[in-house]
Structure 1
Amino acid sequence: MVSKRILVTGGAGFLGSHLCERLLRSGCHVLCMDSFLTGSHANVASFLAHRNFALITHDIAQPLPAGMEVDEIYNLACPASPPHYQADPLHTVKTSVYGAIHLLELAQRCGARILQASTSEVYGDPEVSPQTEAYWGHVNPLGPRACYDEGKRCAETLFFDFHRRHGVAIKVARIFNTYGPRMQPDDGRVVSNFIVQALRGDSLTVYGDGSQTRSFCYVDDLIEGLLALMASPLEVTGPINLGNPTELSMCELADRVLTLTGACTAVDFRPLPQDDPRQRRPDITRAKHVLGWEPTVPLSVGLEKTVDYFRQLLSATSTTSVDGVVQVMREEGAS
C-alpha cells in the first residue's frame, strides 16, 4: 500500500505537532505547514530527520504553494489562546477565513478529505450546558474574542458551503479545552498558566471568583478523536464535539495544580475578562455513537504528565540562562 500524503497546517503548534508525530508512527507521509507565528521549531525538531516528514514555512492566509498533491488535510492553523489571537485580531480572522478558502480549494482540486479544527468557542458564553452540536451559541460578534470566535464560525460556514456546492469531503471537529506537553509557558491558557506559576513560586492568577468552569481533555485523547473523525464514513461531516465532559471550576483546578507541584503559593483573584465564558462542558454523545470515541486519560494522570513536562522545560531554560551568563562573564573577563 502507498501511504497517505497528509498536510497538517499549524503542524508545529501544540496540537499539530502531536498529530504529526502520531501520523508518522502510522506510516503516513506528513507535510507540516506552519507560519511559526505561535508554533515552535522545537516541537518538530525531532521529526526533521524522518524520511516521511517535510516542513514548509508558510502562512495559510496567503495563497498556498503551487503543485501540492495531498490525500488528507488537517487544518489546525490559528492562534488558539486569547493573548495570541488578540495580539493581531485582523490576522486571526484572515487565518480562519482566507486559510479555510485556500485549503478547501486545495482539497477540491486534489479530491482530498479535509478536517477543520473548530472550537468550543463557537458556542461563546453558552446559555445551555452541556453544549450539544445543535446549539447555535451565544457569541458577542463585537467583543475582543470575536476575531477567534467568529473567524472559526465563518470557517465552519465555508466548509459546509464547499461541501454542498462542490462535494468536498469535509470533517468539522469542535475542540474543547485541551492540555498536555508542548504547550507554551506563556500561551495564556489556564492549565499552563497555573503550572508555570506554581513551579516558579508565583501566585496563581484566577479571573473572576474562580467559579467558572472548563472541561479539560488530555492531548493524546484529543488526537485519537481527530483521527477517528477523519477516518469516519464520508457522510459523517460533523460538527462533532471532542473534549472531556468532566467539569471543573478554576478554583478546583488551582487546588489540584498546587497539590501536584507541592507549591505553597497564594491565589491572586483578578477581574474577569470581557466575554469570558462562565461554563464550558461538551456533550460528546455524538462522538461516542458515531466515532466510538471518548477520552480515557484521567485528569490526575494528564496533569501529572504536564507538570513533569513544564518542570523539565523550566529547568532546562534556567540552566541555559545560567550557562549564558557564565559564558558572558568569561568573555568579559578574557577581554
Structure 2
Amino acid sequence: MARHRTGRAVVTGGAGFVGSHLCERLLERGSEVVCVDNFATGSPRNVRHLSAAPGFRLVEADVTRPLADTGPVDTVFHLASAASPADYLRLPEETLEAGSLGTRTALRLALRHGARMVLASTSEVYGDPLQYPQQEGYWGNVNPIGPRSVYDEAKRYAEALTMAYHRTHGTDVAIARIFNCYGPRMRPDDGRAVPTFIGQALAGEAITVSGDGLQTRSICYVDDTVRGLLALADSGATGPVNIGSTEELSMLRLAELVRRLAGSGSPIVHIGRPADDPRFRRPDTRLAEKLLDWRPAVRMEEGLRRTIDWFMAERAVPAARSAAGEVTAG
C-alpha cells in the first residue's frame, strides 16, 4: 500500500481537545502545521505551548467560510466540530455547518493542493447500534430528527461528501471513525462522561450517572487516537476505519473506577438518561490492525490516571494564583 508523507499539514479544529494533541505530534515528527480554529469549543490555551515552535502557525478562522491562502499543503486533517452533547446541543446549526460547509472547505483545500484529506468522523454514525461490535460496513441505527441528530447526521453527511469528492474528483481521502476519545485538555464542562466524572470526584460532588448506568462505551486515550489518525494519514487507505479501544465498560463501572483512582468519597447518583443515548458502543478494530498495524497501547486505568493527574494540576493553578494575589474577586 502506498505511503503518504505529511510534510505540511492544515488541522481544522486544531485548538480543540484532539486537534491540539494532533498538532503537537505533527510538530514532533518534523511537519509544519497550520492550526485553524474559531474557538467555538477549542481554546488558544490548548496550543499556547506550541506558539514558539518552528513551523507552527495559528489562524483564527471559521471553516464554514472560505479560508485565506494557507500556502502549500500535503495533508488536511478536518477535526473542526463540536463533539460533546453539551456543545452540539448548544450549537446545533453550527455543528451541522461544520459537517457540511466545513467539510467542503477542507475538501476544496485538499483538491486545490493535491493533498490528502483525513476526516475525523465518529462512532456516532452507528447511532444506537444493532450490531455488536460495530464493523465499518454497518450502516447504523440513527434517529435523523432526534436531538443528537445535529452531530450524527453532520458526520454522516461529511463522510458522504468526502467520498463524493473522492469518486468525482479523485481527491485522496481517508475517513477515521473515532470512538470515545478522552485525556488531558478536555474541558471540565465538556459534558462527556470522563471529564464530568473526574470533575465531580475531585470536587467531592455526587457523580451523576445517566439511567441505570449499564450502557457501555469503549474509551480510547488521546495519544492512541492521534497515533491512529497519523497512521491512517500515512497510509493509502480510504476507510472508513474504526479508531478506538476494545476495552468496553459500563458507565456505572467507569464512575466507580474514576472515584477509586481519584481517591474520592463522592456518592454515585443516577439521573435521567438522555434521548437516543446509545446502549452499547464497542468498535471492531480488525481493519485498523490489518491496514494500519495500529492498536491502542495505553490501558484504561493508566489513561484515566494521567487524565486525573492533569485535571488535578489544572485545579491547582487557579488556587496557586489566588494564594499569590494574582486573582481577585471581580
TM-score, normalised relative to structure 2:
0.96
1:252 partner amino acid: R
Match of 1:53 in 2: 56
Amino acid at match of 2:315: L
Paired with 1:317 and 1:47, the residues of 2 have a C-alpha distance of 22
1:165-218 Cα distance to aligned partner (Å, 9 max, x none): 000000000000011111111101100100010000000010000000000101
1:309 equivalent in structure 2: 310
SS at match of 2:47: helix
Cα distance, 1:323 vs structure 2: 5.3
Partner of 1:147: 150
Correspondence for 2:247: 246
State the distance in 1 between where 2:242 and 2:32 align. 27
From 166, 169, 173, the equivalent of 1:170 is 173
Letter of the 1:118 counterpart? S
Match of 2:72 among 69, 73, 83: 69
2:169 pairs with 1:158? no
**What is residue 198 of structure 2 aligned with on the other side?**
195
Change (3 A) 1:137 1:321: farther
Q: State the Cα distance separating 1:68 from its structure 2 match.
A: 3.6
In the alignment, the residues of structure 2 paired with residue 23 and residue 58 of structure 1 have an alpha-carbon distance, to the nearest angstrom, of 20
Distance in 1 separating the partners of 2:6 and 2:64: 28
Matches for 1:210-225 after TM superposition, within 5 Å:
210-225=213-228
How far apart are 1:321 and its partner, in Å?
A: 4.8
On the 8 A contact 2:322/2:328 being kept in 1, the answer is no
Residue of structure 2 aligned with 1:119, choices 93, 97, 122: 122
1:3 and 1:27 in contact (8 A); partners too: no
Tell me if the contact between 1:198 and 1:204 (Cα under 8 Å) persists in the aligned partners. Answer: yes
Secondary structure of the corresponding residue to residue 188 of structure 1: coil
User: Does 35-44 or 313-322 show the bigger shift?
Assistant: 313-322
Match of 1:180 in 2: 183
Tell me how far apart the structure 2 counterparts of residues 199 and 324 of structure 1 sit (CA, whole Å). Answer: 24
Amino acid at match of 2:98: T
Matching residue of 2:36: 33
Structure 2: distance between partners of 1:47 and 1:153: 32
User: What is the rounded CA distance, in whole Å, between the counterparts of 2:154 and 2:319 in structure 1?
Assistant: 38
Unaligned runs of 5+ in 2: none
**Structure 1 partner of 2:289:** 288
Shift of the 200–150 alpha-carbon distance from structure 1 to 2, 3 Å rule, reads same
Alignment-mate amino acid for residue 291 of structure 1: L
Distance 1:50 1:19, change over 3 A: same
Contact 1:100 1:158 in 2 (8 A): yes
Query: Counterpart in 2 of 1:332?
Result: none
2:323 and 2:84 map into 1 onto residues whose CA distance is 30
Fraction of identical pairs, as percent: 50
The 8 Å contact of residues 174 and 240 in structure 1, kept in 2 or not, is answered as: yes
Q: Distance in 2 between matches of 1:3 and 1:100?
A: 19
Bigger CA radius of gyration: 1
CA distance in 1, matches of 2:118, 2:220: 19
Deviations 1:25-58 (A, max 9, x none): 1111100000101111111001101121000000
Letter in 1 for 2:19: G
Q: By how many angstroms is 1:322 displaced?
A: 5.5
Q: What's the Cα RMSD here?
A: 1.5
Cα distance in 2 for partners of 1:170, 1:325 equals: 48
Equivalenced residues, count: 326
Deviates more, 1:310-319 or 1:83-92: 310-319
Task: Give the 4+ runs in structure 1 shifted more than 2 A.
Answer: 66-69, 317-329
Report the Cα offset of residue 320 of structure 1: 3.6
